[in-house]
Structure 1
Amino acid sequence: MTETTETTTAAAAARTVLISGASVAGPALAYWLRRHGFVPTVVERAETVREGGYAVDFRGEALDVLDRMGLLERIRELDTEMGDAAMVDAEGRQYATLPAVVFAGDLEVLKGDLTKMLYEATRDDVEYVFGDSIATLEEDEHGVRVTFERGAPRRFDLVVGADGLHSRTRALAFGPEQQFVRHLGIYTAVFSLDNYLGLKNTGRLYAAPGRAANIFTARADAEARAAFHFAAEDVEYDRHDLAGQRRLIAERFSEDGWEIPRLLHEMAQATDFFFDANAQVEMDTWSRGRVVLLGDAGYCAGPTSGRGTSQALIGAYVLAGELAASDGDHSTAFAAYEREMRGYVTEHQALGREGAERFFMPAPTQEILDMLAAQAPENTRTTPVLLRDYAAPPQPTPAEGTL
């Protein structure tokens, strides 16, 4: 941030919204806020748009949101087109096939590709500040005074936490993480590597008691993504110590066969290694005063739900629309946003808990896997979110000045 004094322009006092987080929920919200005449600013701790990451999938109304953003066809061009995946044992022998319908959703793309596309769709008329994060929030009747780790203080009308499972915004406005985060008993590491197995739009999955590993192709089979998963209750680790996280994975899988030794070697070299607990965020309310939470920050359903990206996109659409419908009355808008989303989120979190319970199935038979595939359409039926056609006025001229 370059300014040395606090911004207090009339435009900033009227319709400004600070969004913390530039993954999926944040840029999607910024897109819709601009459409409705607000002036969003997105602050992101990372120095640039985050790349890498595993595949994410879209279901139901999330596809409608992408269509209304004019991005659906472009997203479809990036579909992983993942087919069925082979289940293998420690010697690499295939013993069952996991149908793609179980894990790939209606449409699946790499998370890094989605994040990049959302950023490119908004960067021309949304202010992005990379390499910084919120330090403090001080709310009064006129807005929120925000201080940053690096930049000068500013005032905003509203603040949105779209900063994920370990949300700094949530901690500042609602309290410590342990009050709201519920672990699902699974830890996961994800990273990129070459498609050294020569797979074609498919994957390999290895399972042992309390452990699993998989590798899937990506980007027209030119690359691959791999993941390690293990079952455990609360594991103490430093979220910023990547070397320590790699050692933790290596220790858990040190005696496993199949391709595990090679995958551990690739993991040690990966530049986009990511490790975290599978968890949910459970809160009685997603807003407090002029601060509101969006996506995983407020209602993470866990990776085992397969709904995180869909919730982020739909939540962004609804939140921006309700702010527009209430003409910026945040109390009315936040209450309506929660009414629209609560049932949808509750059902997804139940799916996440169910998925975690059966995640480490001991060498499932083909009969069991076929049964899961047969149930997939039923599992994707969730409490619908009726996507209102919030009228969007002409976009305003971008606010002058930068952070």
Structure 2
Amino acid sequence: MSRTILISGAGIAGPALAYWLHRHGMTATVIERAPEPRLGGQTVDLRGAGRTVIERMGLEQAARDRVTHEEGLRFVDGRNRIRASFGTDALDGFVTELELLRGELADLLHHHTRDDIDYVFGDEITGLTDTGDGVDVAFRNGADRRFDLVVLAEGLRSRTRDRIFADIARIRSFGLYTAYFTVPRAEADDSWARWYNAPGRRVVLLRPDNQGTTRATLSFLDSQPGLDRLQVLAQQDFLRRHYADAGWETPRVLDAMGESPDFYFESVGQMRLEHWSRGRIATVGDAAYCASPLSGMGTSLALVGAYVLAGELSRHPDHHDAFRSYEDIMRPYVTQAQNVSWFAPRLASPKTRTGIRLLNTVAGFATNPAISRLTRRFTSPPADAIDLPVYSCAGR
């Protein structure tokens, strides 16, 4: 079906969608405001239906070649004593065997599609006009162009999405802020992720990567709105003050923060979008249904959503029918992924030392194989909770 489709966003969902559109005989163009592929970011996992999509793309071995080799997650105290330890085979909600950096997955998808897809980096959409028989698109740097359809594959706080869907979009907030950045590897860093709780609902997470460095995460609950809208230097100053007395290896993390090449700070939330399309413009991935990092489902939703959207566009000559079918198939999967309790980050980041000791004690009990089997259904994301369609080109 000869359609021209503009995709805004070259993260995970965008290149995956471009790949499947090309396989179905459509012409995709991907625009990305960054000057080059964004290779930063923390660890993501391939599980469930998302992993199946990667397999159908023929990329499972390539993904395996890029894994971080993380062996599991350990809860530690201020003296770095292990209070609980979960290997890759213990609780699927923490670590899987296919853990890789977000930037590595984005790079893999870009390399796999760049010979067939027109990528435009360093530009962005500034105007969208749906004329009924096409979409006229204005760009910040390039000349205006016309496409049959436009798909927004941007982030949770997509400005382009809000041009079209602001009246039906709502972000569910958890009151949780998270900073992600890379720090030099230290002697204490090994192949295990380490989770440390400090009083005041503060968490420090250190995870190994496959590049000789360590990925740091600072997460905390705070009722102050708008911290994510501060300038980067102000965000880092706030983190230094907020974590000044946190203990453990926090000083080392804070010292390296200012020199990190990929510092990113966000307010964690979910996107609740009443409808994922309007006219000839649709959304996919985080721009449509971000479930938040708390869900463990972001990568699966992006990959599966891209696969289903392209497949339905290949099945339906009318884009309205295709968008409707895409949403019918994906909506139950998304609903389950977004079923994250508001209490989840509060349980994971206790306020007091007593609460932290209790959390570590409970985590220690959960390492018991019998209890682990019982709790798996509560900790494992519903990554397989979809009957993934098989389209004519899949696996060909």
TM-score in terms of structure 2 length: 0.90
* Cα deviation digits, residues 264-310 of structure 1 (max 9, x gap): 01111101111101100012211111111101101000001000000
Match of 1:203 in 2: 193
Matched, 1:31 2:27: no
Tell me the distance in 2 between the aligned counterparts of 1:350 and 1:366: 26
Contact conserved, 2:8 with 2:153, CA < 8 A, in 1? yes
**What's the counterpart of residue 73 of structure 2?**
85
Matches within 5 A, 1:2-401: 15-100=3-88, 101=91, 102-175=93-166, 179-208=169-198, 209-219=200-210, 222-237=212-227, 239=229, 241-327=231-317, 329-351=318-340, 353=342, 355-361=344-350, 362-363=355-356, 364-371=359-366, 373-374=372-373, 375-377=375-377, 379-381=380-382, 384-392=385-393
* Partner Cα separation in structure 1 for residue 85 and residue 277 of structure 2: 44
Are the counterparts in 2 of residues 58 and 307 from structure 1 also a CA contact under 8 Å?
Answer: no
What SS does the aligned partner of 1:141 have?
A: coil
Residues 353, 62 of structure 1: CA spacing in aligned structure 2 closer, same or farther, 3 A cutoff? farther
- Post-superposition offset of 1:392: 2.8
Partners of 1:106 and 1:183 lie apart in 2 by 30
Retained in 1: the 8 A contact 2:180–2:263?
Answer: yes
Aligned residues: percent identity? 40
Q: Return closer, same or farther for 1:86/1:380 CA change in 2, 3 Å cut-off.
A: closer
Question: How many correspondences in the alignment?
Answer: 379
Shift, 1:370, TM fit: 4.3
Measure, in 2, the Cα distance between the counterparts of 1:282 and 1:154. Answer: 30
Matched-pair contact (CA < 8 Å) for 2:83–2:364? no
Aligned residue number for residue 3 of structure 1: none
Q: Is the 8 A contact 2:53 2:307 kept in 1?
A: yes
Alpha-carbon offset, residue 333 of structure 1 = 0.5
Shift in Å at residue 168 of structure 1?
2.1
Q: Distance in 2 between matches of 1:170 and 1:164?
A: 9
Q: In the aligned structure 2, how far is the partner of 1:47 from the partner of 1:219?
A: 24
What one-letter code is carried by the residue in structure 2 that aligns with 1:392?
Answer: C
**Structure 1: runs of 5+ lacking an equivalent:** 1-10, 396-403
Cα shift at 1:369 = 4.7
> How far is the alpha carbon of 1:360 from its aligned partner?
1.1
Q: Partners in 2 of 1:126 and 1:302 — Cα distance?
A: 29
In the alignment, the residues of structure 2 paired with residue 369 and residue 149 of structure 1 have an alpha-carbon distance, to the nearest angstrom, of: 53
Equivalent-residue separation in structure 1 for 2:337 and 2:270 (angstroms): 10
Q: For residues 330 and 342 of structure 2, what CA distance do their matches in structure 1 show?
A: 19
> Which is worse superposed, 357-366 or 181-190?
357-366
2:258 counterpart SS class: helix
| Partner in structure 2 of residue 4 of structure 1 | none
Judge which range, 330-339 or 209-218, deviates more.
Answer: 209-218
SS at match of 2:179: strand
2: distance between equivalents of 1:60 and 1:370? Answer: 27
Deviation at 1:325, TM superposition (A): 0.5
Contact 2:73 2:94 in 1 (8 A): no
- CA RMSD in angstroms comes to 2.2
Find the aligned partners of 2:59 and 2:165 in 1 and give their Cα distance: 34
CA distance change for structure 1 residues 291 and 203 in 2, over 3 Å: closer, same or farther? same
Note if contact 2:313-2:319 (Cα within 8 Å) is conserved in structure 1.
Answer: yes
1:109 & 1:377 partners in 2: Cα distance?
24
In the TM superposition, residue 380 of structure 1 has moved relative to its aligned partner by: 3.4
Which shifted more, 300-309 or 255-264? 255-264
Contact 1:183–1:234 under 8 Å retained in 2: no
Deviates more, 1:185-194 or 1:353-362: 353-362
- State the Cα deviation string for residues 223-271 of structure 1 (Å, max 9, x = none): 2111101102352246472112111211210122111111001111101
Q: Deviations over 1:22-69 (max 9, x none)?
A: 000000000000000111110101000001210001221111100110
CA distance in 2, matches of 1:371, 1:126: 47
SS at match of 1:63: helix
| CA distance in structure 1 between the partners assigned to 2:21 and 2:286 by the alignment | 19
CA contact (8 A) 1:84 1:97 kept: yes
What letter is aligned with 2:94?
F
> Which residue type is aligned with residue 107 of structure 1?
L
Of residues 267-276 and 315-324 in structure 1, the stretch that sits farther from structure 2 once superposed is: 267-276
**1:193-213, CA deviations, whole angstroms, 9 ceiling, x for partnerless residues?**
221134331122210231000
CA distance in structure 1 between the aligned counterparts of 2:314 and 2:173, rounded to whole angstroms: 35
